[in-house]
Amino acid sequence: MRKLNENINVDSKHTFKNSLPEKQLFEDRLSYALDFASRTIRHLIIEGHAAPENAPWFVRSEKIIAEAAFLIVYAKASLSHKKVANAVNTLYKLIEPLARSKATLTNICLKPALALDYAHGHICLHYSGYPNSSFDKILENVLNDEKSIERTPYRMLEQEWLFNIWKNTDNKKEIQFWTNLGCLNHSFDFFSESTDGVYALTHSVMYTFFNSVTTVKIDMDKLINDLEALLIIFMDRQDYDIAGELLIAWTLTKKPFSNLAIFALRCLNYIEKRVGFLPAPNLDLKVIEGKDQKERRTYLYSLNYHTVFVMGLLSGSLLKNYESIKITQNEPNDFSKLNMLLNCELQKEKQVHWMEYFSVLNKDQKKELLPWIYQVLLVRKIKLHKYDAVKKMLDFSKGTSLEGYNITKQAEELLNRLKYFSIINNDRNDLTLQTD
Give per-residue pLDDT as tens, 55-99.
999 999 999 999 999 999 999 999 999 999 999 999 999 999 999
Tell whether 340 and 309 lie within a shared domain.
no
For residue 287, the tally of other CB atoms under 10 A from its CB is 14
Q: What b/e string do you get for 272-285 counting C-beta neighbours within 10 Å, with b at 16 or more?
A: bbbeebbbbeebee
Sequence-separated (6 or more) residues with CB below 8 Å from residue 66? 99, 120, 121, 124
- Asked whether the beta carbons of 261 and 228 are under 8 A apart, the reply is yes
| CA atoms in the 13 A half-sphere facing the CB of 272 | 27
Query: Does residue 112 sit within a domain?
Result: yes
- Asked whether the beta carbons of 303 and 55 are under 8 A apart, the reply is no
For residue 393, the tally of other CB atoms under 10 A from its CB is 23
How far, rounded to the nearest angstrom, does the alpha carbon of residue 232 sit from its chain's CA centroid? 12
Tell whether 279 and 408 lie within a shared domain.
no
Angle at 167 between CA 146 and CA 322, to 5 degrees: 130
pTM of the model: 0.91
Query: Does residue 222 sit within a domain?
Result: no
Tell whether 282 and 416 lie within a shared domain.
no
185 has pLDDT over 70: yes
| pLDDT greater at residue 130 or residue 424 | 130
Query: Does residue 199 sit within a domain?
Result: no
Sign of the alpha-carbon dihedral angle for 74, 78, 81, 82: positive
Query: How many angstroms separate the CA atoms of 318 and 43, rounded?
Result: 29
User: Mean pLDDT lowest for which of 144-148, 309-313, 344-348?
Assistant: 344-348
State the burial class of residue 242 (Cβ atoms within 10 Å of its Cβ: 0-12, 13-18, 19+).
buried
Tell whether 51 and 162 lie within a shared domain.
yes
236 has pLDDT over 80: yes
Query: Does residue 331 sit within a domain?
Result: no
- Asked whether the beta carbons of 260 and 365 are under 8 A apart, the reply is no
Query: Does residue 251 sit within a domain?
Result: no
**Digit-coded pLDDT (tens) for 111-167:** 999 999 999 999 999 999 999 999 999 999 999 999 999 999 999 999 999 999 999
Q: Read out DSSP for 337-365? A: HHHHHHHHHHHHSPP-HHHHHHTTS-HHH
Query: How many angstroms separate the CA atoms of 64 and 298, rounded?
Result: 13
Rounded to a whole number, what is the largest CA-CA distance in the chain? 78
Last residue of a domain, one of 324, 348, 381: 324
Last residue of a domain, one of 324, 355, 383: 324
Percent of the chain surpassing pLDDT 90: 65
With CA atoms as reference, report the closest residue to 94 among 64, 74, 55: 64
Tell whether 398 and 314 lie within a shared domain.
no
pLDDT at 118: 97
Query: How many angstroms separate the CA atoms of 170 and 370, rounded?
Result: 42
Tell whether 313 and 347 lie within a shared domain.
no
Tell whether 150 and 34 lie within a shared domain.
yes
- Asked whether the beta carbons of 154 and 181 are under 8 A apart, the reply is no
For residue 353, give its domain range: 336-424
Query: Does residue 288 sit within a domain?
Result: yes
Residue type, 374: Y
What mean pLDDT is reported for the chain?
Answer: 88
DSSP class of residue 52? P
- Asked whether the beta carbons of 267 and 248 are under 8 A apart, the reply is no
Tell whether 146 and 273 lie within a shared domain.
yes
- The number of residues making up the chain comes to 436
Last residue of a domain, one of 270, 298, 324: 324
CA 49 → CA 46, 104, 301, distances in Å? 8, 20, 10
104 has pLDDT over 90: yes
- Asked whether the beta carbons of 316 and 77 are under 8 A apart, the reply is yes
First to last CA, the chain: 63
Tell whether 143 and 50 lie within a shared domain.
yes
pLDDT at 3: 46
Total domains, the chain:
2
Tell whether 319 and 368 lie within a shared domain.
no
Query: Does residue 228 sit within a domain?
Result: no
Query: Does residue 189 sit within a domain?
Result: no
pLDDT at 8: 46
Residue type, 337: K
Tell whether 149 and 264 lie within a shared domain.
yes
Rounded mean pLDDT of 25-39? 96
Tell whether 124 and 72 lie within a shared domain.
yes
User: Mean pLDDT lowest for which of 84-93, 101-110, 209-218, 390-399?
Assistant: 209-218
